């Protein structure tokens, strides 16, 4: 049985899509595992007028359980509701009194987690009022969970951070990047620092390049109005991809704690080359999907302007100016309406300097590069591509794969990212959240690309649904005499 954690949760935006679809089911998983037991309570808030009873009915629906499910009913009995407009300062005192009441009733030791599942424009206001009205004055811990996006460029992110840090210290702020809650992302650290074989080769002497691909099969769906103001660069690169890249590029942390891991990630991001205008134009490409067989073009999607220049695809080359990585590029790409839905990292090693098996009489195909592929999702595991001798007479080599995949039974046990992240917040462990320094360096890098793109009119649409993006994404890597490990028609 897991260690029980004690806290009051206040969900702002507690009747929203994220809360019902992800947060409450994740909390129920924590309840079933025993992390949450008797000593927790939840206040859901939003502007809607609901009774506790009506809110509990909605929570039950979100769990997909029936009233006859005793365990679910006990869990739901910890849920309460307060109609609350986050811009109404006076009303925070009502929330505070309710919080104090529940604190006594459930013996919560004054521990409080404030989850802002709201439009980001409200984040600063809520944080300020929580402090001003004494909701953060209880005896236990006070932690603030912030959903993405964290700003839309460095300046707005800094403004937001300045507002939050008037009321909360950095170690009380948990900035969600749900990719960091994924099992296989956390495995990057295990594979690197748990294996001499891997870490001793993890540098520019042995690695030729690293490729990170976050590929989505769907289009914008119902998020068009948000997405058209954001684009793939802000929506995926600034946060998820930069987080993955910093885990791949960082040095070994002094210890496996949030403080030490974050310090190394920040150090890596500080050595990421921030491009000037010319380099940004050459090293980054963007795309927007056109129409496919039964698919509308992005510009014809609901709530997307017909002349939108928003990018639904990005590919780029990142360079770290440090001793470990100088000369070894990291290629990244992400987009919507691509061939398949998956996230993977391909680490391409250098080929042996001399290929002694390929000589004219032997007709052996040239040796292929070793590739370590980390499959993040939907399947989770690794493959290591090695060269081996084919069975039989003569001496021919062929690439073979050593595989490890999490089996189906185990993958059912894999915690949902939000389950893990809620758990980490209760423990006060910030490892799998983005620190302000990481966010700020990521924005500084991304802002340069955005600045250049905003000056140039793109020729959109430039890729077809079901492909792996525009031809320019292939040209980007082929120019360096390399190719994407995952490519179509291979």
Question: Which residues define the annotated binding site for substrate?
Answer: 178, 182, 216, 235, 336, 341
Task: Kindly state the smallest distance separating residue 280's Cβ from ligand NAD, in Å.
Answer: 27
Task: Kindly state the smallest distance separating residue 175's Cβ from ligand NAD, in Å.
Answer: 11
Kindly give the interhelix angle for 258-270 and 242-249, rounded to the nearest 10 degrees. 100
Closest residue to bound ligand NAD by CB: 16
Q: Which residues of 401-438 are buried (b: 16+ CB within 10 A; e: fewer)?
A: eeeeebeeeeeeeebbbbbbbbbbbbeeebbbbbbbbb
Task: Kindly state the smallest distance separating residue 395's Cβ from ligand NAD, in Å.
Answer: 54
428 binds ligand NAD (CB under 6 A): no
Task: Kindly state the smallest distance separating residue 71's Cβ from ligand NAD, in Å.
Answer: 26
Annotated binding site: 47, 85-86, 148, 178, 182, 216, 235, 336, 341
Nearer to ligand NAD by Cβ, of 18 and 180: the residue is: 18
Active site residue 423: no
> Using CB under 6 A, which residues numbered 125 to 154 contact ligand NAD?
147-148
Task: Kindly state the smallest distance separating residue 146's Cβ from ligand NAD, in Å.
Answer: 8
Nearer to ligand NAD by Cβ, of 108 and 421: the residue is: 421
Structure tokens at 474: 């292939």
17 binds ligand NAD (CB under 6 A): yes
Nearer to ligand NAD by Cβ, of 56 and 387: the residue is: 56
Task: Kindly state the smallest distance separating residue 176's Cβ from ligand NAD, in Å.
Answer: 7
Nearer to ligand NAD by Cβ, of 17 and 162: the residue is: 17
Q: Which of 322, 206, 202, 347 has its CA nearest to residue 269?
A: 322
* Rounded Cα–Cα distance for residues 368 and 122 (Å): 53
Nearer to ligand NAD by Cβ, of 47 and 379: the residue is: 47
Q: How far is CA 343 from the centre of its chain?
A: 11
Among 18, 43, 164, 248, binds ligand NAD (CB under 6 A): 18
Distances (CA, A) of 274 to 152, 314, 318, 446: 18, 17, 9, 8
* Rounded Cα–Cα distance for residues 305 and 298 (Å): 9
Distances (CA, A) of 298 to 114, 116, 219, 285, 338: 37, 30, 8, 17, 13
Residue pointed to by tokens 């910093």: 246
CB 255 within 8 A of CB 431: no
Among 36, 42, 59, 118, binds ligand NAD (CB under 6 A): 118
Annotated binding site for NADP(+): 47, 85-86, 148
Among 9, 13, 174, 433, binds ligand NAD (CB under 6 A): 13
Nearer to ligand NAD by Cβ, of 129 and 275: the residue is: 129
Instruction: Please list the alpha-helical segments (H only) found in 355-397.
Output: none
Q: Which of 57, 41, 172, 157 has its CA nearest to residue 109?
A: 41
Q: Assign 3-state DSSP to the chain and report helix, strand, coil percentages, each to 5.
A: 40, 20, 40
> Using CB under 6 A, which residues numbered 20 to 79 contact ligand NAD?
46-48
Interacting span for ligand NAD (CB under 6 A) from 93-101, 114-122, 154-162, 415-423: 114-122
Q: Which of 240, 306, 363, 423 is catalytic?
A: 240
> Using CB under 6 A, which residues numbered 68 to 87 contact ligand NAD?
84-87
> Using CB under 6 A, which residues numbered 257 to 286 contact ligand NAD?
none
Residue pointed to by tokens 């790409």: 333
Residue pointed to by tokens 């205008």: 277
Structure tokens at 86: 């986050």
Nearer to ligand NAD by Cβ, of 331 and 443: the residue is: 443
Q: Which of 121, 171, 172 has its CA nearest to residue 150?
A: 121
Strands (E), 19-164: 40-46, 79-83, 112-116, 142-146
Distances (CA, A) of 160 to 148, 175, 436, 440: 12, 12, 10, 11
Among 15, 213, 215, 467, binds ligand NAD (CB under 6 A): 15
Task: Kindly state the smallest distance separating residue 14's Cβ from ligand NAD, in Å.
Answer: 6
120 binds ligand NAD (CB under 6 A): yes
Q: Give catalytic residues, as residue numbers.
A: 240
List residues binding ligand NAD (CB under 6 A): 13-19, 46-48, 84-87, 117-120, 147-148
């Amino acid at each position: 049985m897991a260690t029980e954690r004690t806290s009051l949760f206040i969900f702002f935006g507690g009747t929203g899509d994220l809360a019902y679809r992800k947060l409450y089911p994740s909390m129920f998983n924590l309840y079933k595992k025993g992390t949450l037991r008797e000593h927790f309570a939840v206040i859901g808030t939003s502007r809607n007028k609901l009774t506790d009873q009506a809110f509990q009915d909605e929570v039950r629906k979100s769990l997909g359980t029936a009233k006859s499910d005793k365990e679910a009913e006990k869990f739901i009995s910890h849920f309460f509701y307060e109609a609350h407009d986050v811009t109404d300062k006076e009303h925070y005192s009502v929330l505070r009194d309710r919080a104090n009441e529940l604190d006594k009733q459930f013996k919560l030791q004054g521990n409080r987690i404030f989850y802002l599942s709201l439009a980001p424009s409200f984040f600063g206001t809520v944080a300020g009022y929580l402090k001003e009205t004494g909701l953060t004055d209880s005896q236990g811990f006070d932690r603030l969970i912030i959903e993405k996006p964290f700003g839309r460029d460095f300046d707005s992110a800094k403004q937001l951070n300045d507002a939050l840090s008037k009321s909360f210290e950095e170690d009380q702020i948990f900035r969600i990047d749900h990719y960091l809650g994924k099992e296989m992302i956390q495995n990057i650290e295990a594979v690197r620092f748990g294996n001499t074989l891997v870490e001793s080769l993890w540098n520019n002497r042995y690695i030729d390049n690293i490729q990170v691909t976050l590929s989505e099969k769907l289009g914008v769906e119902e998020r068009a109005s948000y997405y058209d103001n954001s684009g793939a660069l802000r929506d995926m690169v600034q946060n998820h991809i930069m987080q993955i890249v910093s885990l791949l590029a960082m040095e070994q942390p002094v210890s496996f704690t949030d403080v030490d891991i974050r310090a190394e990630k920040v150090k890596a991001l500080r050595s990421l080359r921030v491009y000037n205008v010319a380099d940004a134009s050459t090293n980054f490409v963007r795309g927007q999907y056109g129409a496919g067989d039964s698919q509308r073009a992005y510009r014809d999607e609901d709530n997307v302007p017909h002349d939108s220049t928003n990018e639904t695809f990005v590919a780029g080359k990142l360079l770290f100016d440090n001793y470990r990585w100088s000369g070894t590029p990291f290629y990244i790409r992400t987009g919507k309406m691509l061939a398949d839905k998956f996230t993977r990292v391909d680490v391409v090693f250098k080929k042996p300097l001399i290929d002694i098996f390929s000589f004219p009489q032997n007709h052996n195909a040239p040796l292929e590069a070793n590739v370590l592929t980390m499959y993040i999702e939907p399947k989770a595991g690794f493959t290591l591509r090695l060269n081996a001798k084919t069975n039989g007479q003569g001496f021919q080599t062929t690439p073979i794969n050593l595989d490890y995949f999490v089996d189906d039974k185990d993958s059912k046990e894999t915690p949902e990212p939000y389950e893990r992240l809620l758990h980490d917040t209760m423990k006060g462990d910030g490892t799998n959240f983005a620190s302000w320094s990481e966010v700020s360096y990521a924005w500084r890098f991304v802002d340069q690309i955005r600045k250049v793109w905003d000056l140039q009119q793109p020729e959109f649409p430039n890729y077809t649904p079901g492909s792996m993006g525009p031809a320019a994404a292939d040209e980007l890597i082929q120019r360096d005499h390399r190719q994407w490990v995952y490519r179509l028609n291979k």
